[in-house]
Amino acid sequence: MITLGGRTVVLTGASGGIGAALAAALVDAGATVLAVGRDPMKLNAMVHRHRPGAVVPVTADLCTPAGRAAVVAQAATMSPSLLVIAHAQGAFGLFEDQAETELAALVQTNLVAPMLLIRAMLPLLQAQPGAAVVAVGSTFGALAFPGFAAYSASKFGLRGLIEALGREHAGGTVRFQYLAPRATRTAFNTPAVDALNAELKTAQDDPKDVATQLLDAIRRGDRRRQLGWPEKLFARLNGVFPALIDRALRGQLPVVRRHARAASPVVLEKTHEIASH
């Protein structure tokens, strides 16, 4: 088991949903959290909710070189041993209805920005014993879902990045973990997604419960973990027998299309929680 007490954790997407709950869990475990987000008011509110010095806010847009540089510069003064990627952008809708700019922004936020931040942070992490990069992914990173084509693609990419880096750094000082929550009750979900989840009877977890499970996986050093049942089963079946999942999802397609068509194209830039399975 990995001890978090006394460690500095760089946490992106720290001010909302799963991010805020995970920040609280890390602080309770004795860690200092360098909380990264775009909204300074939300970040400052986090500072006041915790013990003095437990949360250090950094307002930054990780899609920009300046934003990533600000995070690295602050982290360099704090000897970080964990980087937790917990931000994302979501979009629910049919692929052909989504604008090019929305699709490009989605991939930039969910895949390119994490890739470049990890690369910039690696020298700092390699200087610390027991360091880790943790990506808070999604079930959709293993089980692509209609209505979430671009989002699924970005999460498949993130999962591939973390898996490849884990193999590239095998035997090194930094471990790489991909931890995938299932649907979570947060403001990340649009009304259309909430309606879809309700009709499909999709189970949704409380952010605090998700944070508890993520913290356990971080402490255990799990290289990969899918949260929730039957999502864990579906993700494994999709990897071995994808045709079975094709047939199962085909029956849900009319429902997905109806809710996706009813929703105007929306791209949200908030902390990552997964929107459905």
CATH number, domain of 259, equals 3.40.50.720
Helix (H/G/I), strand (E/B), else coil: 212:
helix
- pLDDT value at position 88? 94
Quick one: pLDDT at residue 261?
86
- According to DSSP, residue 110 is labeled I
Inside any domain, residue 56: yes
Domain that holds residue 207: 8-271
Residue 103 lies in a domain: yes
Q: What is the pLDDT of residues 224-237, one digit of tens each?
A: 999 999 999 999 99
Amino acid 225: pLDDT: 96
Number of domains in the chain: 1
Q: Which of 151, 156, 176, 178 is catalytic?
A: 151
Among residues 201, 182, 219, 199, the alpha carbon closest in space to that of 82 is found at 219
- Would you say residue 115 lies in a domain? yes
178 is catalytic: no
- Would you say the C-alpha torsion 147, 149, 155, 160 has a positive or negative sign? positive
Q: Please provide residue 275's backbone torsions phi and psi, each rounded to the nearest 5 degrees.
A: -90, -25
DSSP 63-100: TSHHHHHHHHHHHHTT---EEEE-EEEEEES-GGGS-H
Identity of the residue numbered 147:
G
pLDDT value of position 55? 98
Domain annotation covers residue 276: no
1-43 pLDDT per residue, tens: 889 999 999 999 998 899 999 999 999 999 999 999 999 999 9
Residue at 75 is within a domain: yes
What is the structure's pLDDT at 264?
59
> Residue 262's pLDDT is what?
79
Helix, strand or coil for residue 231?
helix
Asked if 230 and 121 count as a contact pair (C-beta separation under 8 A), the reply is no
Does 277 fall in a domain?
no
- Whether 2 is in a domain gets the answer no
Give me the pLDDT at residue 243, please: 94
**What stretches in the chain show pLDDT beneath 50?**
265-277
- Provide the CA 209 distance to its chain's centre, in angstroms: 15
Tell me the β-bridge partners of 33. Answer: 9, 55
The span from the CA of 8 to the CA of 10, in Å, is 7
Is residue 49 in some structural domain?
yes
Q: How far is residue 99's CA from residue 221's CA, in Å, rounded to a whole number?
A: 39
